[in-house]
Amino acid sequence: MAQPIIPVRAPTPVDSASERPRVPPTPRWVDALLLCAMAAVAYGIMRAAAEWRAPLSPNVQVSLSARLLPYYAGLSTLRMTIAYVLALAFSIGYARIAAGSRAAERFMLPLLDILQSVPILSFMPGVVLGLAALFPGRTLGLEIAAVILIFTSQAWNLAFSFHQSLLTIPRELSEAAAIYRLGFWRRFTRLELPFGAISLIANSMMSWAGGWFFLMASEQFTLGTNNLRLPGLGSYLAAAADAGDTRALVLGLATLIAVIVLLDQLLWRPLVAWSDRFKLEQSGGDAPQSRLLNALSGSAMLEWVSARVTRPLTRTLDRKLGSSPRVAPRARAPHSVLWARLARWIPMLLVVALVIWGSIAAVGALAGLTGRDWRFVLVSAGATFLRTTIALALAAAWTIPVGVAIGMSPRWARRAQPLVQITASVPATAVFPILLLALLALPGGLNFAAVALMLLGTQWYVLFNVIAGAMAIPSDLREVASSYRVTGWRRWKTLILPAIFPYLVTGMITATGGAWNASIVSEYVTFAGRKESTIGLGSLIAQAAERSDFRLLLAGTLVMSAIVIACNRLVWRRLYALAETRYRLD
């Protein structure tokens, strides 16, 4: 990527001949290891493709043998990777379109609220049945369904975070882009994407954690008498929990933690260190470091790829997409104008017709519910609303100070961020059955346990965004605050809270949807054949899906979506607009 126009720290000394930073050459064995890793990944993808072409079996038994854990971990990581790539591409494109047009934003942001509010378990049966029918007798349909379900747990917070970054770009940078006459492509690659890099990477780590959280649900599908499972780490943990095999559950969690640690060292930590160059500041500071990034900075293989592939491709894209036409556009013929209008209105009319048809079908299905059913739905919604509110308040109470401490101190970031990444990525749905026996003995029983599981599933959305916000505070502002001896609560009031406010609002928006989704697995728990439930909307949805009571399932899903959308529109969206207009680095 070409150098962004945002101000960065002073560059490292350069060689006058090459005009590039002097970096020590990478040892040959590092390039050899990199080549072996690429070959191993290619082989793993080929093996996974063979699994996707395998015939579909209605009752797959997942072996609890420890020797299969590396294979299962590879399959799950591949599904997560495919879902993440799709989620990242979707989020960047969706947020860019929404931020580029106020008319589009008025439609797209409420739609994003709706999408993140719909619980996974509600639409999972339809997705699985549709894709299984699309690829009859093949595992490929289930694989695509698993990727889609993981995608839904990763995409929304990425879209919200990048949209927030686009809205809070300082005006002087936008004016500089206009003065330099940057077109759409150059503005996107030089300004918008670099400015949102820190937030995108922080929320990418959260997206991976969210993907692990719903991995167990995405690799096993129960439809009537058929138990459709995909071999993977999530289905292994689910099978161990169903069998009550504590040894297998511990081995599965240990394998998951090992995968998380490897990803942190090989992917996320280098990306965090790399993204520090896009920090909006004039003076230098204690930047985060990555041994792997330092080792690869002089790689002959990567330099060859950069010289032969990356830089030529970047120049080609800049030449094709970065130039703007200099001639005035010719007047369109009347029939061209007509076709252009039809191209805009036909898709919108189709969407409106689909919404009307779906609304009529939903009203017809809900007409069969009695007044007693609706009272039960509303009481359940009230109980879950109380639990989610408590969980969000507890999450904000500890994540704000801890996230600021981690984000503002590179030393603490190096120590704590890997631990946070590991803890956030461990699926609470896998650990919760073990803790359930102890939690049920406490006052409140499953009510307390449900709040605890919601907290485990949603607090990380807030924490990662607060860390990103604290990391993005320019060193210039910190130095000014220190020079004027702004400390204590005054420092929090005038510097820290205003700086992290846009990130905090983004985290709370995604945490709200996550808390309501987590209610499905926290209010209705199964372990070793034992079922525990409490009154709540999540428990209602889970039991309705298990009984194939689609009317009650639809009612619970619509009520949950309506509550999440109302909270976002009445509370978080107003704070989102406040962050855009008042709390920005101008």
Per-residue pLDDT averaged across 399-424, rounded? 80
Count other C-beta atoms under 10 Å from residue 338's C-beta.
Answer: 11
Q: Is 222 helix (H, G, I), strand (E, B) or coil?
A: strand
- Per-residue pLDDT at 567 exceeds 50: yes
Q: Are 575 and 504 in contact (CB under 8 A)?
A: no
Q: Are 223 and 34 in contact (CB under 8 A)?
A: no
DSSP 362-373: HHHHHTT--HHH
DSSP 83-130: HHHHHHHHHHHHHHHHHH-HHHHHHHHHHHHHHHHS-HHHHHHHHHHH
Give the confidence band of 225 by pLDDT, cuts at 50, 70, 90. Answer: low
Residue with tokens 């204590």, as numbered in its chain: 488
Distance of alpha carbon 390 from alpha carbon 200, whole angstroms = 28
Give the confidence band of 284 by pLDDT, cuts at 50, 70, 90. Answer: low
Distance of alpha carbon 516 from alpha carbon 269, whole angstroms = 31
Give the confidence band of 9 by pLDDT, cuts at 50, 70, 90. Answer: very low
Q: Which DSSP category does 5 fall into?
A: S
Distance of alpha carbon 31 from alpha carbon 441, whole angstroms = 55
Distance of alpha carbon 105 from alpha carbon 163, whole angstroms = 10
Give 20 or 216, the one with higher predicted confidence: 216
Among 17-26, 363-372, 395-404, 414-423, the minimum mean pLDDT is found in: 17-26
How does pLDDT run across 55-87, given as a tens digit for each residue?
776 667 788 888 889 989 998 999 999 999 999
Contacts within 8 Å (CB) and 24+ apart, 344-351? none
Distance of alpha carbon 356 from alpha carbon 334, whole angstroms = 32
Distance of alpha carbon 97 from alpha carbon 178, whole angstroms = 19
The pLDDT assigned to 6 comes to: 45
Element (H, E) at 19: none
Contacts within 8 Å (CB) and 24+ apart, 375-381? 376/540, 377/537, 377/540, 377/552, 377/555, 377/556, 377/559, 378/559, 379/535, 380/535, 380/536, 380/537, 380/539, 380/540, 380/556, 381/537, 381/559, 381/560, 381/563
- Per-residue pLDDT at 198 exceeds 80: yes
Q: Which of 137-141, 223-227, 437-441 ranks highest by mean pLDDT?
A: 137-141
Give the confidence band of 16 by pLDDT, cuts at 50, 70, 90. Answer: very low
The pLDDT assigned to 82 comes to: 92
The pLDDT assigned to 393 comes to: 93
- Which residues lie closer than 8 Å to 374 by C-beta, 6 or more apart? 555
The pLDDT assigned to 327 comes to: 44
Distance of alpha carbon 89 from alpha carbon 198, whole angstroms = 16
The pLDDT assigned to 369 comes to: 85
How does pLDDT run across 330-360, given as a tens digit for each residue?
555 555 666 666 666 776 677 778 778 877 8
How does pLDDT run across 478-506, given as a tens digit for each residue?
888 888 888 888 889 888 998 899 888 88
Distance of alpha carbon 49 from alpha carbon 146, whole angstroms = 15
Domain ranges in the chain are 28-297+366-581
- Per-residue pLDDT at 48 exceeds 50: yes
Within a 13 Å sphere around the CA of 138, how many CA atoms are in the beta-carbon half? 15
Torsion angle of C-alpha atoms 574, 575, 577, 581, degrees rounded to 10: 140
The pLDDT assigned to 2 comes to: 44
Per-residue pLDDT averaged across 531-544, rounded? 84
The pLDDT assigned to 440 comes to: 67
Q: Token digits for 98?
A: 């929404």
How does pLDDT run across 102-143, given as a tens digit for each residue?
777 877 887 887 777 777 666 676 677 777 777 777 788 888
**Helix, strand, coil percentages for the chain (3-state, nearest 5):** 75, 5, 20
Give 24 or 573, the one with higher predicted confidence: 573
Give 582 or 438, the one with higher predicted confidence: 582
Residue with tokens 């954690």, as numbered in its chain: 209
- Per-residue pLDDT at 385 exceeds 90: yes
The pLDDT assigned to 435 comes to: 67
The mean pLDDT of the chain is 79
Burial of 521 (0-12, 13-18, 19+ CB in 10 A): buried
Give 443 or 255, the one with higher predicted confidence: 255
DSSP 182-221: --HHHHIIIIIHHHTHHHHHHHHHHHHHHHHHTHHHHSEE
How does pLDDT run across 146-181, given as a tens digit for each residue?
888 889 888 888 998 898 888 888 888 888 888 888
- Per-residue pLDDT at 525 exceeds 70: yes
Ramachandran category for residue 485: left, alpha or beta (phi over 0 → left; psi -120 to 50 → alpha): left
Q: Is 397 helix (H, G, I), strand (E, B) or coil?
A: helix
Q: Is 14 helix (H, G, I), strand (E, B) or coil?
A: strand
Q: pTM for this structure? A: 0.74
Q: ∠498-504-505 over CA atoms, to 5°?
A: 100
Q: Are 166 and 95 in contact (CB under 8 A)?
A: yes
